[in-house]
Structure 1
Amino acid sequence: MKLRWIGPVLLSAAAYYVYLPLPSGVNEPWKLMLLDAMFRGCMTVGDMAHALGVCHRVNLLNKVVSWVEVIEARSSPSVHVTDSLLGGVPARVFQPIGGKKLKRGVVYFHGGGWALASGRMRSYDLLCRKMAEDLDAVIMSVDYRLAPEAVFPAQYHDALAASRAFLSAEVRRRHGLDPERLCVSGDSAGGNLAAAVAQELAQDASLEVRFKTQALVYPVLQALDFFTSSYQQNHNVPILYRPVMARFWLQYLGADPALEPLLLANNHSSLDQAGLPPRIRPKLDWTALLPAERRKHYRPVVKATGTPGVVAAVPALTDVRAAPLLADQGVLGRTPKAYVMTCEFDVLRDDGLMYVRRLRDAGVEVTSDHYEDGFHGCMVFAYPPLSSDVGRRSMDNYIRWLDHNL
């Protein structure tokens, strides 16, 4: 008789773990709950392994991701796929077979908090393969170094080296790239790298060829304000929780993880914080940079007195190579035509929307593509088993923009 209760009890426990109250506007909430439950489960196991001294939590999570997601380079009748090096950095190259002699080109940086994932993952492989087929374009998906073994500026340097190589005459000749139709792109942490690279190369007078466009998908662009309206609204919305983003930032910047509570309290950006110049604050003043419908009823959290010395201890917090939102208008104005995707239920929504405003104020042509039912990471969840309608829509519209503007 007791055995009869085992199944219902286990099912109830699983349902309790999976279920999470979500805002009513989230697209296909149960799929997001399942995805989040798997991610939380892996994070929990990683935290346990970290606490026991077995390995770093990120290393274990990456091993799980690699085991489940990383696939071999497989060509198809329409796309030749190879693993290669781009400026000394590993990259997966998707080369269309046939089509025009000169191809459009996209160098792509994957997301994952500068610590997780790979361009060889199934989701990114499928995205880049579809881009290559639909655009008749060469796509190079870069596997930059990851935290905790590599910290800022290592990931940035990898992205920059790969991008310089992508623009070089040798790579253009080898892959038949049209020098006037090249794009730098990425999602989340990869969007951060793409934005930083676009800024740096826009100022390089020695380049013979430049990017025509930059395409940023829910990019993370600053770490000085963890109380933007989107951080307040979506702090408990999967898959990117507010504390997780703070942890990713500290790992990327090689900072003491004990600083996490200070970041989450905005103590590191207090008015008395030495090393935080007044000229920086207007660049992330979301009360001025966001429209009223995004600010909603939320109020900024600016501490008069914080924890002294945080910016001095972590100077990369104000480094534009790590936080592209902080760049000067003159730098932004030199960057190429931009596409910025944002999602309503994403802590990073306001990072992207503030960047849209700052780019436009600098005279850059920008397409802002916002998804009212979207969540962080949705674009790469466009395929079974956890495909979503908003994932398919966002991917299709991203590729359509590239087709029309590249």
Structure 2
Amino acid sequence: MAVPWLVLLLALPIFFLGVFVWAVFEHFLTTDIPATLQHPAKLRFLHCIFLYLVTLGNIFEKLGICSMPKFIRFLHDSVRIKKDPELVVTDLRFGTIPVRLFQPKAASSRPRRGIIFYHGGGTVFGSLDCYHSLCNYLARETDSVLLMIGYRKLPDHHYPAIFQDCMNASIHFLKALETYGVDPSRVVVCGESVGGAVVAAITQALVGRSDLPRIRAQVLIYPIVQAFCLQLPSFQQNQNVPLLSRKFMVISLCNYLAIDLSWRDAILNGTCVPPDVWRKYEKWLSPDNIPKKFKNRGYQPWSPGPFNEAAYLEAKHMLDVENSPLIADDEVIAQVPEAFLVSCENDILRDDSLLYKKRLEDQGVRVTWYHLEDGFHGSIFFFDKKALSFPCSLKIVNAVVSYVKGI
């Protein structure tokens, strides 16, 4: 009986080493590291680890051990959370939705600013624990009461779970601001990546709600605001740049929206969008809205392929305003709160920020834009990771803090 166990023990290190070698090969064969990025070797290392863990998760999923998303979340939630002596942190549930409340301990002579935070993770990763240090920092440095919402995600939950959870928890909080010592006239909603998409969708959905305090400002950190055109200049230029490749984004999008992956090419080529819909929204989606300086690097003009009705019937909810807040009506856009938009040059979602910036400004909404030439998608996550941090990581966090403190 001892021999099989001995063989297994000897085989496991070889298996894990083999998977890591595979991840390294995949990285160097498929990944682009732009010259403008600082610390490229560090980003290569992090991306190799990311690919290694995702590959392990996919293997475990095929073996029926656990799903890839749950495996990754188990790992990042196992990191020890440090207590901050300046904050009281409380885990609550608004109905079935887990939330985490960060409150400064020091007494205040007046109600504090409130922040509602929607974390990122591409509908796959991210959690209350994963984003704890970022929210802790934002609450402490801005002297605000911050609520982070732990919405449902893949693999067990699909569209519209994220929007519903964030909307319901936000409304619950907005109706009880006095309970938490929050000034109703100074509430900011903030989100990163898919959380930025939630910010855009919720601020639009709350327009005209006279029964709730008006949101004072919105902070969108490299958000995704449309699922129509995945051939914008930044999608072409940065399609293989870590930590969000176009391939991974499309797979996550399809999984969350419960679209079969066989329609992936139709989504990439735009053939799932009817011609009349393209014509209706082209004025907002067109690459012509992207400043010329952002199209100098490796961009090829593009037009959608022939319309595929079967693909449209499968993927039409991708075009709902909750998934593509860029296409909301002018009357709605004109009433959303002022915005702070963060974009990164080496991010496939750079142009989403640029398009949304133009839409807001065209309707008279005040926009403060912060662009990082050396930034990449997901960089804010590493702001406090010491040796694994990047200059752009802390720049983004401090820019957000500075903006919020002005509210």
TM-score of the two chains, using structure 2 as the length reference = 0.88
- Following superposition, the deviation at residue 21 of structure 1 comes to 4.8
Kindly tell me: are residues 49 and 194 of structure 1, through their superposed partners in 2, closer, same or farther at Cα, counting changes over 3 Å?
same
1:24 aligns with 2:35: yes
The Cα offsets for residues 278-313 of structure 1, whole Å up to 9 and x where unpaired, read as 3123221122x2111112262332234143322222
Match of 1:182 in 2: 187
Question: Hey, what's the Cα distance between the residues in 1 that align with 2:104 and 2:293?
Answer: 42
Residues 102 and 139 in structure 2, CA contact (< 8 A), matched pair in contact too = yes
**Aligned AA for 1:66?**
D
Q: How does 1:7-406 map to 2 (within 5 A)?
A: 17=25, 21-67=32-78, 69=79, 71=80, 75-86=83-94, 88-100=96-108, 101-121=110-130, 124-168=131-175, 171-207=176-212, 209-269=213-273, 273=274, 276=277, 278-287=279-288, 289-296=289-296, 298-383=299-384, 384-404=386-406, 406=407
Question: Hey, what's the Cα distance between the residues in 1 that align with 2:252 and 2:89?
Answer: 31
Residues 188 and 217 in structure 1, CA contact (< 8 A), matched pair in contact too = yes
Residues 87 and 161 in structure 1, CA contact (< 8 A), matched pair in contact too = no
Unmatched 5+ stretches in structure 2 = 1-13
- Following superposition, the deviation at residue 76 of structure 1 comes to 2.9
Question: Hey, what's the Cα distance between the residues in 2 that align with 1:304 and 1:231?
Answer: 17
**Aligned AA for 2:358?**
R
Residues 24 and 48 in structure 2, CA contact (< 8 A), matched pair in contact too = no
Question: Hey, what's the Cα distance between the residues in 1 that align with 2:170 and 2:103?
Answer: 17
Kindly tell me: are residues 14 and 156 of structure 1, through their superposed partners in 2, closer, same or farther at Cα, counting changes over 3 Å?
closer
Residues 88 and 162 in structure 1, CA contact (< 8 A), matched pair in contact too = no
Match of 1:3 in 2: none
Q: Secondary structure at the match of 1:83?
A: strand
Question: Hey, what's the Cα distance between the residues in 1 that align with 2:243 and 2:181?
Answer: 39
**Aligned AA for 1:377?**
G
- Following superposition, the deviation at residue 99 of structure 1 comes to 4.2
TM-score of the two chains, using structure 1 as the length reference = 0.89
Unmatched 5+ stretches in structure 1 = 1-5
Identity %: 31
Kindly tell me: are residues 15 and 52 of structure 1, through their superposed partners in 2, closer, same or farther at Cα, counting changes over 3 Å?
closer
Question: Hey, what's the Cα distance between the residues in 1 that align with 2:125 and 2:232?
Answer: 25
Question: Hey, what's the Cα distance between the residues in 2 that align with 1:206 and 1:300?
Answer: 46
Moved over 6 A (4+): none
Kindly tell me: are residues 57 and 275 of structure 1, through their superposed partners in 2, closer, same or farther at Cα, counting changes over 3 Å?
farther
Q: Secondary structure at the match of 1:202?
A: coil
**Aligned AA for 2:100?**
R
Question: Hey, what's the Cα distance between the residues in 2 that align with 1:248 and 1:232?
Answer: 18
**Aligned AA for 2:129?**
R
Kindly tell me: are residues 203 and 279 of structure 1, through their superposed partners in 2, closer, same or farther at Cα, counting changes over 3 Å?
farther
- Following superposition, the deviation at residue 388 of structure 1 comes to 1.0
Residues 275 and 312 in structure 1, CA contact (< 8 A), matched pair in contact too = no
Residues 87 and 165 in structure 1, CA contact (< 8 A), matched pair in contact too = no
- Following superposition, the deviation at residue 186 of structure 1 comes to 0.5
Question: Hey, what's the Cα distance between the residues in 1 that align with 2:231 and 2:63?
Answer: 33
**Aligned AA for 2:214?**
R
